[in-house]
Amino acid sequence: MSIIVTGAAMGIGEAVALKSAAEGKKLVLIDRAEEELKTLKEKIISEGGDVEIIIGSVVDPDVAERAVEVALSRFGRIDGLSHNAGIQRYGSALTTTDELWDEVININLKSAFILSRAVLPELIKTKGAIVMMASVQGLATQNDVAAYTTSKHGLIGLTKSIAIDFAKYNVRANAVAPGSVDTPMLRNAVALSDAPEKVMNTINAMHPLGRSAKASEVAELVCFLLSGRASFITGEVVKVDGGLLTQIAGSPTDD
Ligand SMILES: NC(=O)c1ccc[n+]([C@@H]2O[C@H](COP(=O)([O-])OP(=O)(O)OC[C@H]3O[C@@H](n4cnc5c(N)ncnc54)[C@H](O)[C@@H]3O)[C@@H](O)[C@H]2O)c1
């Protein structure tokens, strides 16, 4: 089994790559963080895995085509796409610039269309699966994340569209919606505050389970959805959020 994993150099994508390699999947990893991706490649190879890397941006159609070519020439087939590359930026509909809007929509959403278009012909042959990394912010929203939340809502729409268009070929597409996950993205966001520790504690407390997720907990779900164990699940958005969106904020008995 061979899969393409984007955003693989760190965070959730790295966890998906490591778990997939441990499961014996052959991997083509995409990221623009060259040094980190090369380090991960060495680690996977040292542990007996089979991996190729593509350095570049997921917005670039040539990168997607190259990933498909490399997967086919090295492994002969493509069984799945795990799309995790993404960025978090801040601003409301009034404060978001055109540049920032385009950056977020291109990297978080248009990339998913570009990658899907490149891999779908191969997934049709293998009855493969796509897992898109959305967010709880694809289902609800917060202040000052207009572009990000729009990109993640759009990603869920694209996932459902692919699920329906390609169900006749037994290709499945699902989205994963994490709450806060302890990754470089979250750490960088928290570091923007004057009181990072306090913000981290608040973020953890927002989740009924009282903490943020580990990237490996999200990778578990991704690998399940990519696998044949999820053979009747398609067009779904699965939360992995420690109960975050299940709870109605505030309570009449709160102090
Ligand atoms: N961390 C969280 O709390 C959280 C919560 C919900 C959803 N998510 C989503 O999960 C995904 C992964 O997030 P993470 O926390 O692991 O982030 P991260 O910043 O820790 O890692 C993201 C990876 O994507 C890569 N990347 C970014 N833009 C790219 C581009 N244009 N081309 C190629 N690679 C690119 C980065 O280099 C990095 O290796 C993102 O889509 C994010 O929106 C994260």
Q: What is the pLDDT of residues 3-30, one digit of tens each?
A: 999 999 999 999 999 999 999 999 999 9
* Residue 194 counted as domain residue: no
Q: Please, what's the b/e burial string for 112-124 (b: 16 or more CB within 10 A of its CB; e: otherwise)?
A: bbbbbebbbebbe
Domains: count for the chain: 1
Residue 86 counted as domain residue: yes
Which two structure tokens, joined as six digits, stand for 113? 């269309």
Q: Does residue 184 lie in a domain region? A: no
Instruction: Say if ligand 1 is within 6 A of residue 184 CB.
Output: yes
Q: Is residue 29 part of a domain?
A: yes
Which two three-digit tokens encode residue 224? 């399940």
DSSP conformation class of 108: I
Query: From the CB of 163, is ligand 1 less than 6 Å away?
Result: no
Say if strands 51-55 and 26-31 run parallel, antiparallel, or are unpaired: parallel
Q: How confident is the model over 33-57, as pLDDT tens digits?
A: 999 999 999 999 999 999 999 999 9
- The answer to whether position 73 is within a domain reads yes
For 30-52, b/e burial (b = at least 16 CB within 10 A) is bbbbeebbeebbeebeeeebebb
**CATH no. for residue 9?**
3.40.50.720
What pLDDT is recorded for position 255?
67
Alpha-carbon distance 27 to 93, whole Å?
39
Quick check: is 197 in a domain? no
pTM check: above 0.95: yes
Phi, psi of 251, deg, nearest 5: -155, 145
Does some domain include residue 201? Answer: no
Task: Examine residue 229 and state whether it is found in any structural domain, yes or no.
Answer: yes
| Residue 24 CA to ligand 1 centre (angstroms) | 24
Which domain range does residue 66 map to?
2-178+213-240
